[in-house]
């Protein structure tokens, strides 16, 4: 495997997974504020453990990431102060702006997972084949 995952990174990925789970659960349960706040705490702790404290601080304070950081923190503020729908929208935009540079690496990692990799690769292969046929 191209990526080595030590115990600390496994914990970080687990916390991020719990964050996604609680976000999903909070949205399903009509934007429950408590679950969404808990999901944010899990995600932030998971990113901090996965990347390291210094890298996380550099990610959020980098000059090119100010728009994403401000949007994410404003979304967190809205979730804590009873506007969860607006908060989730702002947080999704902030995450896309902050972690947009990680998508190619994440795609390579997801394609290497034994069963899930094939499921993720199949639509990409299908679209590529359709592009070849119709061009």
Domain coordinates in residue numbering, the chain? 7-102
CA dihedral of 70, 65, 35, 7, whole degrees rounded to 10: -150
For residues 112 and 121, give the distance between their C-alpha atoms in angstroms, rounded to a whole number.
Answer: 10
pLDDT given for residue 129 in this prediction: 82
For residues 125 and 60, give the distance between their C-alpha atoms in angstroms, rounded to a whole number.
Answer: 35
For residues 93 and 28, give the distance between their C-alpha atoms in angstroms, rounded to a whole number.
Answer: 20
Place of tokens 């609680």: 22
Q: Do residues 15 and 56 touch, judged by C-beta distance below 8 A? A: no
CB neighbour class for 30 (10 Å; exposed up to 12, middle 13-18, buried from 19) = exposed
> Using the 8-state DSSP alphabet, how is residue 30 labeled?
T
Q: Kind and range of the H or E element at 56?
A: helix 53-61
| pLDDT tens for the chain, residues 1 to 135 | 556 778 998 899 899 999 999 999 999 999 898 999 999 999 999 999 988 999 999 999 999 999 999 999 999 999 989 899 999 999 999 999 998 888 788 778 777 878 878 887 888 777 778 888 887
pLDDT given for residue 67 in this prediction: 94
Q: Do residues 16 and 47 touch, judged by C-beta distance below 8 A? A: yes
């Amino acid at each position: 495997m191209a990526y080595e995952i030590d115990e600390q990174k496994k914990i970080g990925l687990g916390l991020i997974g719990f964050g996604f789970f609680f976000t999903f659960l909070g949205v399903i349960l009509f934007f429950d504020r408590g679950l969404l706040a808990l999901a944010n705490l899990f995600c932030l702790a998971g990113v901090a453990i996965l990347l390291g404290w210094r890298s996380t601080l550099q990610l959020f304070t980098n000059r090119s990431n100010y728009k994403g950081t401000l949007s994410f923190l404003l979304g967190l503020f809205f979730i804590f102060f009873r506007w969860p729908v607006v908060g989730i929208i702002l947080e999704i935009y902030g995450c896309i702006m902050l972690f947009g540079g990680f998508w190619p690496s994440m795609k390579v990692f997801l394609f290497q997972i034994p069963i899930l990799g094939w499921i993720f690769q199949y639509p990409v292969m299908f679209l590529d084949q359709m592009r070849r046929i119709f061009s």
